[in-house]
Amino acid sequence: MVQKAKILLVDDRPENLLALEAILSALDQTLVRASSGEEALKALLTDDFAVILLDVQMPGMDGFETAAHIKRRERTRDIPIIFLTAINHGPHHTFRGYAAGAVDYISKPFDPWVLRAKVSVFVELYMKNCQLREQAALLRLQLESGQGRAGAAAAQEPAGLLAELSARLAAVEEQAEALTKQLDESADAAAVATAAHLERKLTGLRRALDALEPGTGSGVGPLPSPS
């Protein structure tokens, strides 16, 4: 069973949270509410999120300050943030949002289809990264187990394992390639950059696997980090 991604919705007005849930429910992911910046930061302490939808105008800690805290934490600094605002103060206000670490900036009232499409891109990227981490973790585990064995039987087992891992990685590579083609059409710079980062990690993992094939290398070197 594929685990659902979590999406953090941050807004001080319950009616806005209800509207966001109605729009994003079609994505069939886990939607988590936060009614303040403080509540959002608390949720981020324990859970991993694919993307954060963050209202700018909130009493107390506003969206800009909340985003600054998120970006200062090592655990959460790479989570994409989409700012939502009911007021358009012009280019300076928008620039402040991007400077605070937002990947996108949407003014209310927004087009539900556009918002859902943008969020779905980051959810898909998050899922691909999770798949890559799982493949890398499995590879490390199996290689460590294989290195501790000796004899012909031990030599045959890692060979079969490498073939299986190579096939699994090929499936992820195919999905990532399809996603990249989709992003090329949408021309969302932040999403394209994230997809390119994922492709580089996939390429590194593929090279590591190729180096482990019989006759292609002299041993097992360090595997690339999937993060």
Q: Where are the beta strands (DSSP E) in the chain?
A: 6-10, 30-34, 51-55, 81-85, 104-107
CB 43 within 8 A of CB 18: no
Residue type, position 10, single letter: V
In sequence order, the β-bridge partners of residue 10 are: 34, 54
Residue type, position 93, single letter: H
CB 152 within 8 A of CB 136: no
CB neighbourhood size of 41 (10 A): 17
Q: How far is CA 209 from CA 82, 186, 206, 213, in A?
A: 36, 32, 5, 7
Structure tokens at 25: 């429910």
Residue type, position 51, single letter: V
Size of the chain in residues = 227
26-82 residue pLDDT tens: 999 999 999 999 999 999 999 999 999 999 889 989 888 999 999 999 889 889 999
The structure's pTM equals 0.65
135-187 residue pLDDT tens: 777 777 777 676 555 444 444 555 566 676 777 777 777 777 767 666 655 55
DSSP 5: P
**In CATH, what number does 6-110 get?**
3.40.50.2300
Structure tokens at 61: 């800690």
